Amino acid sequence: MSSPVGPLLLAGDGDALSAIGFSAGKGARGAEPTWVRDDDRFSGAVAQLREYFDGTRRTFDLDLAPSGTAFQRQVLDALLTIPYGETRSYADVARQVGRPAAVRAVGAANGRNPLPIVIPCHRVLGRDGSLTGFGGGLDAKRFLLDLEARTIDGA
């Protein structure tokens, strides 16, 4: 799908969304050779993402099937609790998952988020509030944070 942060690849098995890939940045992802293209499969996800980018959707209601270890899934679950328009530090997320010393591990799990935007890893910042890595690039991360701030301010 096209988006303000560039083309996004949506993938999954059945009706559950398991991946959102950026076309650029360290998280750039293309279709796997065994995948079958079906432009209608995730029309609901496309509609919700468009609403998000239009500033009319703050939460997603989608069937998700992210992959990852048990710890990575804990981190993804913690990311889902970060409210729209708010941010947390990696240390905050580490404390939330009960592993306060695992800040780097949280950063690594955050970086492997297979469903960016929907699972809002862009809402996690460095301890000093600085932007840190993001699969779609720092410009995309800044765009998403600014979009949410503008929507909150305009609400």
Which residues belong to the active site? Answer: 121
């010393």: which residue's tokens?
101
3-state helix, strand, coil in the chain (%, to 5): 35, 10, 50
Strands 124-125 and 88-89: parallel
Rg of the chain in Å (alpha carbons): 15
E-strand ranges in 5-99 read 8-13, 16-22, 88-89
């992802």: which residue's tokens?
29
Spatial distance between the Cα atoms of 63 and 61, rounded to a whole number of angstroms? 7
Tokens for 88, please give them.
């947390």
Spatial distance between the Cα atoms of 121 and 80, rounded to a whole number of angstroms? 9
